[in-house]
Amino acid sequence: MSDDGIWPKLERPLVEDRLDRARKIRDEMGIYGNDGQSSEEFFAMSSTHTQGIVEWCFGMVWAETPFDMKTKEIIVLTTMAAQDLVGELEWHVKVALNLGLTREEIVGVFVQATPYIGLPKANHAIRAAMRAFKKIDEAAKPS
């Protein structure tokens, strides 16, 4: 039995439109490309996985939800802290700074989440932020 009732209702944008939106968002985030995070390693393992990240995550979800970029990043920081994804958090701390959040606000996100995610996960998130801040500070020092 087929559910044909939804097919006419589904959006049919051009993939190029989604990819263009994704590129603009990723450029605004400022962590991809030279000296940043790369999707090439994922692409080498799975072009399907990479397509999903770029097209769906950035070209649809990031592009179409009704929040400004800073609010979207606060949501990402919170959900990553709740899942204890400290490696990803380090990258997203950099994104948060690039989008205009302060260091105090970033740490404040994790402190605010503490009653809901627990002290250990909040501690891990704050430590990830500290590592990101340290790397940023070291990169900014004159050679």
Per-residue pLDDT reduced to its tens digit, 74-130? 999 999 999 999 999 999 999 999 999 999 999 999 999 999 999 999 999 999 999
Per-residue pLDDT reduced to its tens digit, 39-61? 677 778 888 988 888 899 999 99
Reported as a pLDDT band with limits 50, 70 and 90, residue 35 is low
Distance CA 1, CA 132 (A): 51
CA 49 to chain centre: 16
Tokens encoding 58: 């950035």
pLDDT at 70 over 70: yes
For residue 32, the SS3 value is: strand
Per-residue pLDDT reduced to its tens digit, 92-106? 999 999 999 999 999
What does pTM read for this prediction?
Answer: 0.87
Backbone phi, psi, residue 32, to 5°? -105, 150
